[in-house]
Chains A and B, each alone.
Chain A
């Protein structure tokens, strides 16, 4: 008995870990698109690690103090404690600037990875039975990630994020019946309230939302393990198996590598690429005007929707319904996420397909879904671009009016066009003959006699190893053929 065996035995006596061996055999399909969810996961890990570091220094208070820190241009100015502590984090805590910027970059990558991961699931039909629940957990995660990103972005209380908070207040205010009550309860008064919003956002941002996110990630992965991965069609792959690499050791090595790559990229971004230089914006003062106010990218679609919305306000019966805010900033995102939630059921209803699916679709064979999805992506992307109306007007030297009306038109035209083109492309691609043969390089050589001979070049790094039939993960690995010669499927193992 060696020490590993002894340790495993010790644990098994107490926890029965031996019964969990099959977990080590858990198969992960080898396809790049499966990395997206992992990137999101590791960005979250980075967010928690860097976030804990930040919270050791950050002071969640809007109380105004006179700044006399390391950043000379602001010395002697009145700033909030939150703002001052973020400057301190950036300029006086060694390593703080990198970690603060890394946290912000990680937030942008986190939401981005979730969004692209979700597109992957959508276009390949990964949300179909039995995975509808996990799709819904994923949508909730996307929503919470956006919310927490907005909360974190608002914490430093700089001029840009303070202005964003002002807009958020107005959005809450726009809700009929309860809007003003909600806004007053949350902020403790008319904007900017009595200062309570900062510690409230802080505790939501660093504790409440992250814990919910962590719990949902747990549920997401639990379901993933229970149901096992879906997989693309391929050699030896059926609805009743999964083909790929086992958790231990292959996937573990690869995914640990990915973790460090994600961490490394984020760390490098944090050090090399400036993000949210709040000292350039200045501290938040409600009467100060900001130029080119731009929220983080994942809020862009809402900002764009608010910009291109016509100024329709309903007044009557002694009441006001600010549709110009309510529609683009409350009802529209509400509708968006509702649609996301119910999509698996809507599609099942429309297609009548209620079977269990463990084999993913190639998008080209589902032209309607793919076209709809592409149109959706185009729609949100157009709205996102519309959040830069002022920048675009300046850049192209055209009037804001032209830009605005173009976007109102484009928000409809682009999705329709993209949808139609996607549909055609899918049809064309699907009509092309499929060759399942993997491409292999050949070596062409000339013999002394002048003959040309061609041989296969064999496996190269990166070649998909799907020329073999898949086998079960071996329980035991023999040292040589002799060891194994008596072996074979179904034989007792020791």
Chain B
């Protein structure tokens, strides 16, 4: 504030002190004739106009009901306080406050519906469409001024678009690319290695006579207990080796067979084993896999057999993987060949 000139300066901007006390709109007297302007076309209506009558047939009766509801609501609210104070109990909490809220709601709704003017009332509706002149002016403003911006500056416009394009591309990197790692081969490989022991969720190695015929257990490679992609079902279908598919003759020592537990449909754990039918069932969409036939899907939406883990029994009698899975486990994806 420059005291001599009375001009306030803020950097290089100058504010003229045009504020005159007593002339702000709030203190300005209303125009004298304001009340004579018929600014509302709405009619004055008598209190006993039929439109203002309550819809209730028996007003006294309705009022009594509403009074009853409000009392009930107060009791409900107080009841909730008491229940909470006593340590809370879900059912009682639900009942007390629920009754309270419902009663208040019913009281208000009844008040509005039965005690307030029954109407009907009407309101005029104005077209959304503007007049032809307004439309023309709007269109002209947008188009003509737009032309003004671009007149003989087409090249600048193109440069601007180019810059925006570059921004659009580079901004996608922090916004999308930073979110997570690239898939690389993570979907193609599991942590099963040649010779991996089969261990339980608790890390205990499985021995050749741990399972009875008809037994089933979930196994993992050591160190990956609980891993979602490595989970494998180990079954004992018989006492002697059997062939699930040509070329897999040695994969089932002593009747043990192991399949990936990740459903080839949408990845749920396939864990329901029916011994009589020798089938594995997925609980999510009921795909059924034939244990004796290389886990070929025989029912449901699963498109592929569950990959089979080639097994062997080592000299100490431990079950181990002969080889890792020969294909990606789980549901399909674009890069899967």
Contacts and interface: CB of A to CB of B under 8 A. Distances in A.
B179 A476 contact: no
Given A287-B231, A289-B283, A476 B45 contact: yes
A257 B111 contact: yes
Interface of A: 13-14, 25-27, 30, 94-95, 97-98, 101, 130, 163, 166-167, 169-171, 173-181, 183-194, 196, 226-228, 236, 239-246, 249-265, 267-272, 285-293, 303, 306-307, 309-313, 315, 318-322, 324-325, 356, 358, 389-390, 400-401, 404, 458-463, 465-466, 468, 470-481, 483-485, 487-494
23 contacts: A27-B122, A167-B268, A226-B128, A227-B128, A241-B122, A242-B122, A242-B123, A244-B121, A245-B117, A253-B108, A257-B111, A258-B105, A261-B105, A272-B95, A320-B334, A356-B128, A461-B113, A471-B51, A474-B42, A477-B46, A489-B41, A489-B43, A493-B42
Given A466-B120, A493-B40, 6 more contacts: A98-B94, A289-B268, A307-B285, A319-B334, A320-B335, A473-B123
A99 B38 CA distance: 53
B38 A493 contact: yes
Interface in B267-290: 267-269, 271-272, 283-288
B16 interface: no
Interface in B93-133: 93-95, 97-114, 116-125, 127-129
Interface residues of B, number: 109
B330 to A, nearest CB: 7
A265 B102 contact: yes
A224 B288 CA distance: 52
A474 B44 contact: yes
A477 B45 contact: yes
B254 interface: no
* Interface-central residue, A185, A186, A243, by most chain B CB under 10 Å: A185
A166 B266 contact: yes
A260 B120 contact: no
Interface of B: 25-26, 35-38, 40-53, 55-57, 62, 84, 87-88, 90-95, 97-114, 116-125, 127-129, 176-177, 179-183, 186-187, 201, 218, 226-229, 231, 261, 265-269, 271-272, 283-288, 297, 299-304, 330-337
B56 A291 contact: no
Contacts of B333: 173-174, 179-180, 320, 322
Nearest to B25: A13
B8 to A, nearest CB: 24
A319 B337 CA distance: 5
A321 B334 contact: yes
A66 B306 CA distance: 33
The 7 closest A-B CB pairs, nearest first, are A271-B94, A257-B109, A253-B112, A260-B105, A268-B98, A264-B101, A322-B332
Contact of B55 (A255, A312, A459): A459
* Interface-central residue, B52, B101, B129, B299, by most chain A CB under 10 Å: B101
A471 B43 contact: yes
B121 A97 contact: no
Contacts of B302: 311, 324
B122 to A, nearest CB: 4
A226 B129 CA distance: 12
A470 B231 contact: no
B44 A191 contact: no
B121 A312 contact: no
A177 to B, nearest CB: 6
B233 to A, nearest CB: 9
A313 B304 contact: yes
Contacts of B227: 286
Nearest to B94: A271
Contacts of B102: 260-261, 264-265, 268
Contact of B94 (A270, A306, A400, A487): A270
B124 A287 contact: no
B116 A253 contact: yes
Contact of B40 (A324, A471, A475): A475
B301 A472 contact: no
B106 A477 contact: no
A293 to B, nearest CB: 5
B267 A169 contact: yes
B185 to A, nearest CB: 10
B112 A166 contact: no
A491 B335 contact: no
A492 B129 CA distance: 30
* Interface-central residue, B106, B109, B334, by most chain A CB under 10 Å: B334
B101 A190 contact: no
Contact of B45 (A177, A309, A478): A478
Contacts of B229: 190-191
Given A98-B93, A167-B267, A475-B42, A264 B105 contact: yes
Nearest to B108: A257
Contacts of A459: 53, 55, 57, 118
A163 B93 contact: no
A246 B121 contact: yes
Given A166-B266, A179-B334, A268-B95, A190 B186 contact: yes
B182 A181 contact: yes
Contacts of B38: 490-493
A265 B40 contact: no
A171 B103 CA distance: 46
Contacts of B271: 287-289
B332 A320 contact: yes
Given A258-B109, A321-B332, A483-B46, A166 B268 contact: yes
Contacts of B47: 477-480, 483
Contacts of B99: 264, 268
A240 B50 contact: no
Contacts of A484: 44-46, 49
Given A459-B55, A471-B122, A476-B44, A257 B110 contact: yes
A189 B186 contact: yes
Contact of B121 (A27, A180, A196): A27
A439 B105 CA distance: 28
Contacts of A240: 124-125
A254 B125 contact: no
Contacts of B304: 313
A326 to B, nearest CB: 9
Contacts of A485: 46
Nearest to A191: B228
A169 B117 CA distance: 56
A177 B333 CA distance: 9
A257 B88 contact: no
A286 B94 contact: no
A95 B229 CA distance: 40
